[in-house]
Amino acid sequence: MRKIVLAAAIATSALGLAACGETAETTDETVAEMNADAETVADDATATAEEGMAGMEEGAEGMAADTEAAVDEAVENAEAEAEEMTSE
């Protein structure tokens, strides 16, 4: 079954190329253009992913700073309460 589907796909492609009247040279140019487009898409996707990672890193650093400030405040509050309890 797979061989039949594959043969049909190949035949359809061959007929499509023949119907369009494309030469081997034109086909090679088309393939080269498609490869260039694929590389551009891959580069764009990589750049987008890198920007997203940079944003996530900045967000994580901000969260770490916020957490550190909250811990410092909690420690100060606990020390103040302990000091009040011992002075009474």
- For the chain, the domain total comes to 1
Q: What is the pLDDT of residue 34?
A: 84
Write out the E strands in 7-51: none
* Residue 29 near residue 21, CB atoms below 8 Å: no
> In angstroms, rounded to a whole number, what is the distance separating the alpha carbons of residues 10 and 56?
45
Which tens digit of pLDDT belongs to each residue from 33-70? Answer: 888 888 888 888 888 889 889 888 888 888 988 898 89
Residue with the larger pLDDT of the pair 75 and 5: 75
Instruction: Indicate whether 24 pLDDT > 70.
Output: no
> In angstroms, rounded to a whole number, what is the distance separating the alpha carbons of residues 44 and 61?
26
For residue 48, the enclosing domain spans: 2-87
